[in-house]
Amino acid sequence: MERAIDTQLEDLKKMILLMGGHVEKSLSQVTTALLTKDLAMFDEVHAIEKRINEDHIRVDNVCMNILAKQGPVAKDLRLILSVIKINNDLERMGDQTVNISYSGKDYLGRKPIQAQLSDIQKMSEIAGRMVKGSLDCFVRGDVDEAKQILLMDDEIDALKSKVFKDATAHMKIHSDDVEAALDLILIARNLERLGDHATNIAEDVIFAYTGKDVRHGGKFG
Amino acid sequence: MERAIDTQLEDLKKMILLMGGHVEKSLSQVTTALLTKDLAMFDEVHAIEKRINEDHIRVDNVCMNILAKQGPVAKDLRLILSVIKINNDLERMGDQTVNISYSGKDYLGRKPIQAQLSDIQKMSEIAGRMVKGSLDCFVRGDVDEAKQILLMDDEIDALKSKVFKDATAHMKIHSDDVEAALDLILIARNLERLGDHATNIAEDVIFAYTGKDVRHGGKFG
């Protein structure tokens, strides 16, 4: 017989997937807005973030309800605790996309310093794959795949360092472009943070399904 | 008669206070290291962060244990959920102090661009007061004081904007100082994020003691 909590946990997973879909969309919109110079699209990012914030509160309320009414233990409890954390990471990701929209709008208002924002685009693609991948792992309980997500974070970090290096070098030569270069640095920083949050989710997935705490290099778990 | 859970919740509060003490110390060390040009102090920040990471895992384990064994409801449940979030914010604050130590070390390796880092110092002082204040509120259940913490965040944001503006203006005139100015921008950014996490804690305190969700401007709670 199916337990009531199983249905509730499945519903919770669906809510997280929906919320993750909003984050993916927000990231893809803000990147497209920047790459295609479509200022109006930045506003859509704010509309999506509002929905992410609604999801955030709603997921927390559902978790609290299940905890209060079902008193879950063991694997069920770990799953709910993971959802509480994943919920938090997804909300922060929404904030990052909004930060990117501000810097992106600023950047487009200035003389462009690069013909193509290929590194930013690559970072956004990897971050998007990490968000989607980490939530797929979460729903399927795929711990091996979650470990792959952790590796992708290195790619984003390397690209961030490249953007920082290139933008700094550019600023030193072209003092008129200081603000534009700083915009790109801040955007790269936000994309790196987005990747960090996806990494957190992958770590939470590993904890939820194995009980093994791999945070902080697994040193204290 | 005192319930077993009351003792456990009191112990949990003590653990959070201890962890918060580590965060305050880490922030104060990294700021002093930067202001007094004491490179060795930066290494101490890493040692403190290691303890914060240990606290992080330990607090989560205690929360999970209480949830599994006591099945708390209502105010007790809200308190534990708040602790799970506060724990996360404190751990992130530890990361911010480590980020500051990297940028601070870089900055001290270059030609200084300001005689005194008074805005950075002010930001750090406010952030420190916010960390201490938000945890005092948490332990005392002082919701009015928690609301004051939310206001302090505006001061930090204004100082961050000032550091950004001054550093950008400096970079435009002194191209040799681009890296040093960028270090200060990144430090200001991390201090601003530290303030954001203290704000999160204040919001969690309000939720824990009143059941009122003031996140996202209280629009969806």
Res. B212 pLDDT band, cuts 50 70 90 = very high
pLDDT in tens, A54-64: 999 999 999 99
* A54 close contact with B: CB closer than 8 A: yes
pLDDT in tens, B144-190: 999 999 999 999 999 999 999 999 999 999 999 999 999 999 999 99
End-to-end CA distance of chain A: 34
- Contacts of residue B177, defined as CB under 8 A and 6 or more positions apart, other chains included, come to B110, B111, B113, B170, B171
| Phi–psi pair at B132, nearest 5 degrees | -60, -50
Residue bearing the bigger pLDDT, B45 or A220:
B45
Of B64, B74, B168, Cβ closest to residue A182: B168
The answer to whether B13 and B78 have CB atoms below 8 angstroms apart is no
Res. B220 pLDDT band, cuts 50 70 90 = low
Cα A160 to the center of its chain, rounded Å: 15
Cα–Cα nearest to B5, from B61, B86, B63, B66: B66
* A64 close contact with B: CB closer than 8 A: yes
Residue B1: predicted pLDDT = 66
Phi-psi region of A212 (alpha: psi -120 to 50; beta: other; left: phi over 0): beta
Retrieve residue B57's tokens: 């895992």
ipTM above 0.90, yes or no: yes
The conformation of residue A110, written as its DSSP 8-state character, comes to S
Of B67, B85, B213, Cβ closest to residue A67: B67
Domains contained in chain B, CATH given: 4-218 (1.20.58.220)
Residue A1: predicted pLDDT = 66
Distance from CA of B210 to the nearest CA of A (A): 15
Res. A2 pLDDT band, cuts 50 70 90 = confident
Res. A171 pLDDT band, cuts 50 70 90 = very high
Phi-psi region of B131 (alpha: psi -120 to 50; beta: other; left: phi over 0): alpha
Is it the case that residue B78 has pLDDT exceeding 70?
yes
End-to-end CA distance of chain B: 34
Q: What's the whole-number mean pLDDT along residues A10-39? A: 97
Residue A187: predicted pLDDT = 98
pLDDT in tens, B26-68: 999 999 999 999 999 999 999 999 999 999 999 999 999 999 9
Residue A217: predicted pLDDT = 85
- Partner-chain contact A64 B56, CB within 8 Å: no
